[in-house]
Amino acid sequence: MENQHETIVPSEGREMNFIDLCAACGRAIGRACAACWQLFLHMVRLTYRYWWIVLTLVALAVAGALYYSRHDNLKYKVNAIVLLNGPTIQQFEQSFHTMCSAQRLPQDASISPFVWSQTITDFKTFRVIDCLGDETADFIDFKHKIKPTDTVNVQMQDRLCLQFRLKNRDMHRLPAVEDALLEYFNSNQAMQHSYDVYSKNLRNEVSFNHRQADKLDSLTSCYYFYQPSEAHPRSSGVSFYGDREVELFLEDIYEQHAHLQRVDQRLELATAPVTIENHFAVFPAPVNGRMKCVVVFLLLGWIFGCALAEIIDKRKVILAWLKE
The string of pLDDT tens digits covering residues 160-209 is: 999 999 988 888 899 999 999 999 999 888 899 989 998 888 888 888 88
CA 130, distance to chain mean position in Å, is: 14
Q: How far apart are CA 141 and CA 129, in angstroms?
A: 7
Q: What DSSP letter does each residue of 150-168 carry, written as one string?
A: -SSSEEEEEEEEEEEEEEG
Q: How far apart are CA 279 and CA 80, in angstroms?
A: 7
Residues 278 and 149 in one domain: yes
- Domain-located, residue 265: yes
* The one-letter amino acid at 239: S
- What is the structure's pLDDT at 109? 84
Residues 249 and 161 in one domain: no
In sequence order, the β-bridge partners of residue 162 are 80, 125
**Residues whose CB falls within 8 Å of the CB of residue 18, separated by 6 or more in sequence, listed in order:** none
Q: How far apart are CA 158 and CA 200, in angstroms?
A: 17
Residues 277 and 157 in one domain: yes
Residues 158 and 277 in one domain: yes
Q: Is the CB of residue 168 less than 8 Å from the CB of residue 94?
A: no
**What is this structure's pTM?**
0.72
- Domain-located, residue 107: yes
β-strand pairing of 120-130 with 154-167: antiparallel
Give mean pLDDT, residues 11-36: 83
CATH number at residue 105: 3.30.70
For the four alpha carbons of 198, 201, 206 and 209, in that order, the dihedral sign comes to: negative
Q: How far apart are CA 273 and CA 263, in angstroms?
A: 17
- Does the pLDDT of residue 24 top 50, yes or no? yes
- What is the structure's pLDDT at 223? 57
Residues 244 and 138 in one domain: no
Residues 190 and 209 in one domain: no
Where do runs of H (alpha helix) occur along the chain? Answer: 2-8, 18-49, 51-68, 89-100, 112-116, 174-186, 189-225, 250-269, 290-313, 315-323
Structure-derived torsion over alpha carbons of residues 218, 220, 226, 230, reported in degrees to the nearest 10: 160
Residues 63 and 143 in one domain: no
Residues 179 and 108 in one domain: yes
- Domain-located, residue 190: yes
- Domain-located, residue 296: no
- Of the CA atoms within 13 Å of residue 318, those in its CB half-sphere come to 7
Residues 112 and 162 in one domain: yes
Domain boundaries, position 41: 17-69+305-314
- Domain-located, residue 115: yes
Gyration radius (Cα) of the chain, Å: 34
- Domain-located, residue 134: yes
Surface-to-core class of residue 140, CB atoms within 10 Å of its CB (0-12 exposed, 13-18 middle, 19+ buried): middle
- Does the pLDDT of residue 225 top 80, yes or no? no
Between CA 280 and CA 286, with CA 283 as vertex, the angle to 5 degrees is: 130
Query: What is the tally of structural domains in the chain?
Result: 3
Residues 140 and 278 in one domain: yes
- Does the pLDDT of residue 231 top 70, yes or no? no
- Domain-located, residue 247: yes
Confidence of residue 146 (pLDDT cuts 50, 70, 90): confident
Residues 190 and 220 in one domain: no
- Does the pLDDT of residue 234 top 70, yes or no? no
Q: How far apart are CA 182 and CA 186, in angstroms?
A: 6
User: In this predicted structure, which of 117-131, 146-160, 239-253, 261-275 has the lowest mean pLDDT?
Assistant: 239-253
Helical (H) or strand (E) element with 76:
strand 75-84
- Does the pLDDT of residue 7 top 90, yes or no? no
- Does the pLDDT of residue 249 top 90, yes or no? no
Residues 43 and 142 in one domain: no
Tens of pLDDT along 89-101? 898 988 888 888 7
- Domain-located, residue 179: yes
Tens of pLDDT along 264-296? 888 888 888 999 988 888 988 899 888 999 999
Indicate left, alpha or beta for 168 from its phi (over 0: left) and psi (-120 to 50: alpha). alpha
